[in-house]
Amino acid sequence: MTVHHLRRSLLRCGVGALVLAWLPMPSLAQAAQPTDADARAERIVQKMPPEALHGLVQSYFMGGTAKQPPGSIGAAGYVPALPAYGIPAQQQNDAGIGPNNYPVGFDARGWPTGVRGNAGDATPLPSTLALAATWNPRLAETGGRMIADEARAQGINVLLAGGINLSREPRNGRTFEYFGEDPLLAGTMDGAEIRGIQSRHVVSTIKHFALNAQETNRLAISSDIGERAMRESDLLAFELAIEQGHPGAVMCGYNKVNGIYDCSNAHLLNDVLKRDWHYPGWVMTDWGGDHGVTDALAGVDQVSGEDFTGDDNGKGNFGAPLMRAIADHTIPVSRLQDMARRILRSMLANGLFDAPPPKPVDFEADAKVSQDAEEQALVLLKNDAAQLPLDAHVQRIAVIGGHADVGVLSGGGSAQVWPVHGPAIKPVHPDLHDSASPWIVYDPSSPLRALQQRFRKARIDYVDGDDPARATALAKSADVAIVFATQWEAEGIDLPNLSLPGHQDALVTAVAAANPHTVVVLESGTAVRMPWLPNVAAVLEAWYPGARGGEAIADVLSGRVNPSGRLPITFPRDERQLPRPVIAGGASADYDVEGAAVGYKWFDRQKLEPLFPFGYGLSYTRFVYSDLKVSTGPRVTVSFVVRNMGSRAGMDTPQVYVDMPTADGEAPRRLAGFDKVDLKPGEQAVVSATIDPRLFAVFDVAANRWRIDAGRYTVEVGHSSRDLALCGTTDMKAASIAP
């Protein structure tokens, strides 16, 4: 059974818009113009002898084994200040969903006695995938500002943020840290978050460059893929985010691409990033991602956590070995100057030299930022017979499982944020690998309590779901049963499959058999298999909901908030529909199987019916689209009318797709634009989107340029990638675009 309607548009497109003129088109990634920051960086570099320049090109890891140098605040990376040249220290810290912190110790009962970091506390946003599900770059930008302000209050000025590896492999344990499967959505959202961070005297990275698509064998696996396919998919996501967000640093990943480590990969770093994209900032390695002093020649500007590959005493690859290579001219001193210049210009461009004192953190206001994001991230996947919102006069509600009495789940690893006032339950350390294994942490935001506040007259009971008999008995006695199901993910560990772990499928099935009004709330890091889907009345995907997740979930369940999230990844029926039914475990992953057809493009190309398609999400109201106009180029503009036909106010996310006219395209359809509109009942708005010409193009490897083939292109507007309502065409002349 499918709850969505795979209403592939059967409309025949009419005659389209005008013929585009002129070619070739200019470079989109315009050569960076020298700025004041470049000039200042150059002046400083000119004064610095090699020994001083060398002070900038490696950072020291403070989290674990290394001794902490004076001046460091004990975060992931520290680069000492150089007062003689007026250069401030770099205090680098992770920041997937907020400044990463970690427990300083545990008491006898196993509860953390505090968290690390000057200011200690931090506010977790919903997961990055949840942010992507909002399809609202304004929320990503606001979230970025919030993270940066909290980080700066702790003395941090470089954030290891901006994770954007495309979700090629939904079992990837870090899927929750990334922006989904589409280059335009991911690039736009990530660019916005980076812009937000960097508006606050803080440098942001973008990571992990590139094709770091899974955690299994992550330190050695080779992502094998053709040049054209990677340019049109994973690299396009980076390209768009870098253009829109201008991150000061790029972090190269652990994995190899086509047999060469990311951080030793001159093609990725020198040819693509620095030459083709004119990237002016610095490349830092992932922690321990360096593989030799010659990485400097491949494009690395800074080795991170030098003690990962060295010995804590400056003997890492960019320690003594780099200075020897400079002395014997194996590496020219001009390269060392370039490394320092790139680092300094990004620090200067983002105001690290001139930063005013940080403001005190308003945790209450930040929790609100987190809640706003989650409210727009919640995706209503199924809602039979208008089960949701819950009837305002409901008498008895059964809440089952997922620790919903106390909190909401978060993702583990370097993107973990230990929440303000500590976790909701005693943190569990699954001890999967070693002492560095991540913890399972619940944020203290109780859906149960939030529901009790919204339904004051109702009786609401909770059972943990461990005993299915108790759960079904409670469900039977209630008007509505809400099961909270969880799927924990973490850095370093891929999921074996997309099924809910433990006995949760059986629990949902049993509860649904006991009560026809069963609602499932999913707290997951990625897509979930739902064998029980036909039996439940409603499903709400909440991702990892963040600091005020419980409140946001209760607001959607009660109808205070109309759900407006849309899936940023395809939910397959089962793993057999994926390009790799079993996750690649050996020395390499063959990504040429799907090539650039990541996610929904693969499902479209293979004509597979997913469980829920990319871009999908229901609302408590109904939106219709009309009056499509497709303009002439060279930048094609699409406009149409969105009307709220229901009786509730709500937000909609109309999506524009371009169909490639030839089989030469990587897939039948590409997301080419989107917007988020807020409409009162009966209200309408004109939405317009300008399509990036690269979304009409293929990457011509021989010419090293984007190439638009002449032809008639279909442009569609839809509610999801599989529910397309309007259709138009535009005729394109052949054109060529510099990368």
Catalytic residue numbers, as ranges: 286
Closest residue to bound ligand BGC by CB: 160
234 binds ligand BGC (CB under 6 A): no
Residue 209 carries which DSSP code? E
Nearer to ligand BGC, 100 or 631 (CB): 100
696 binds ligand BGC (CB under 6 A): no
What Rg, from alpha-carbon coordinates, does the chain have? 25
Residue 268 carries which DSSP code? I
Nearer to ligand BGC, 171 or 207 (CB): 207
CB of 87 to ligand BGC, least distance (A): 22
Q: Hey, how many other C-beta atoms are within 10 angstroms of the C-beta on 425?
A: 14
- Residue 626 corresponds to which tokens in the numbers above? 């009309």
CB of 35 to ligand BGC, least distance (A): 27
Which positions from 95 through 134 interact with ligand BGC, judged by CB under 6 A? none
Q: Hey, how many other C-beta atoms are within 10 angstroms of the C-beta on 385?
A: 8
Which positions from 46 through 105 interact with ligand BGC, judged by CB under 6 A? 76, 94
CB of 491 to ligand BGC, least distance (A): 6
- Answer for the pair 409, 442: CB distance below 8 angstroms, yes or no: yes
Nearer to ligand BGC, 212 or 631 (CB): 212
Number of residues that bind ligand BGC (CB under 6 A): 7
Alpha-helical regions (H) of 82-221: 128-134, 137-153, 183-198
Nearer to ligand BGC, 191 or 305 (CB): 305
Residues β-bridged to residue 105:
114
Q: Are strands 623-630 and 637-644 parallel, antiparallel or unpaired?
A: antiparallel
Nearer to ligand BGC, 389 or 413 (CB): 413
Nearer to ligand BGC, 207 or 529 (CB): 207
CB of 61 to ligand BGC, least distance (A): 8
286 binds ligand BGC (CB under 6 A): yes
300 binds ligand BGC (CB under 6 A): no
- Residue 318 corresponds to which tokens in the numbers above? 């960019």
Q: Is the peptide bond before 208 cis (omega within 30 degrees of 0)?
A: yes
> What does the alpha-carbon distance between residue 98 and residue 624 come to, in Å, rounded to a whole number?
37
Report which of 223, 205, 215, 234 is spatially closest to residue 262, judged by C-alpha positions: 223
In the sheet that 735-737 helps form, which strands lie side by side, from edge to edge? 698-700, 705-708, 735-737
CB of 190 to ligand BGC, least distance (A): 14
CB of 241 to ligand BGC, least distance (A): 16
Long-range contacts of 290-293 (CB under 8 A, 24+ apart): 290/263, 290/316, 290/317, 290/318, 291/261, 291/263, 291/264, 291/317, 292/264, 292/317, 293/317, 293/318, 293/321, 293/322, 293/324, 293/325, 293/330, 293/331
In the sheet that 669-674 helps form, which strands lie side by side, from edge to edge? 17-19, 723-732, 711-720, 655-659, 669-674
For the chain, the maximum distance between any two Cα atoms, rounded to a whole number of angstroms, is 81
CB of 350 to ligand BGC, least distance (A): 18
Nearer to ligand BGC, 491 or 716 (CB): 491
Angle between helices 183-198 and 234-245 (to 10 degrees): 30
Q: Cα separations (Å) of 585 from 145, 342, 702?
A: 38, 37, 32
Q: Show the binding pattern over residues 596-625: x = contacts ligand BGC (CB under 6 A), - = does not.
A: ------------------------------
CB of 212 to ligand BGC, least distance (A): 8
CB neighbour class for 433 (10 Å; exposed up to 12, middle 13-18, buried from 19) = exposed
Nearer to ligand BGC, 437 or 637 (CB): 437
Among 238, 277, 282, 287, binds ligand BGC (CB under 6 A): 287
Q: Could you report how far apart the first and last alpha carbons of the chain are, in Å?
A: 44
Report the alpha-carbon angle 599-602-605, nearest 5: 150
CB neighbour class for 55 (10 Å; exposed up to 12, middle 13-18, buried from 19) = middle
CB of 160 to ligand BGC, least distance (A): 4
> What does the alpha-carbon distance between residue 398 and residue 475 come to, in Å, rounded to a whole number?
6
- Residue 628 corresponds to which tokens in the numbers above? 């499509």
Nearer to ligand BGC, 38 or 94 (CB): 94
In the sheet that 256-257 helps form, which strands lie side by side, from edge to edge? 260-261, 256-257, 222-224, 588-590
Q: Cα separations (Å) of 154 from 123, 158, 206?
A: 13, 11, 21
CB of 528 to ligand BGC, least distance (A): 24
- In what helix (H) or strand (E) does residue 9 lie, and over which residues does it extend? none
Phi, psi of 99 (to 5 degrees): -65, 120
Nearer to ligand BGC, 9 or 100 (CB): 100
- Answer for the pair 336, 55: CB distance below 8 angstroms, yes or no: no
Which positions from 144 through 173 interact with ligand BGC, judged by CB under 6 A? 160
478 binds ligand BGC (CB under 6 A): no
Residue type, 387: Q
- In what helix (H) or strand (E) does residue 612 lie, and over which residues does it extend? none
- Residue 11 corresponds to which tokens in the numbers above? 């409309």
Q: Cα separations (Å) of 177 from 224, 335, 527?
A: 22, 33, 13
- Residue 459 corresponds to which tokens in the numbers above? 């009786």
CB of 287 to ligand BGC, least distance (A): 4
Is residue 681 helix, strand or coil? coil
CB of 333 to ligand BGC, least distance (A): 29
207 binds ligand BGC (CB under 6 A): yes
CB neighbour list of residue 464: distance below 8 Å, 6 or more residues apart: 400, 401, 403, 405
Nearer to ligand BGC, 414 or 684 (CB): 414
Nearer to ligand BGC, 204 or 655 (CB): 204
- Answer for the pair 600, 721: CB distance below 8 angstroms, yes or no: yes
Residue 34 carries which DSSP code? P
Which positions from 362 through 391 interact with ligand BGC, judged by CB under 6 A? none
Nearer to ligand BGC, 286 or 489 (CB): 286
414 binds ligand BGC (CB under 6 A): yes
Residues of this chain that interact with ligand BGC (CB under 6 A) are 76, 94, 160, 207, 286-287, 414
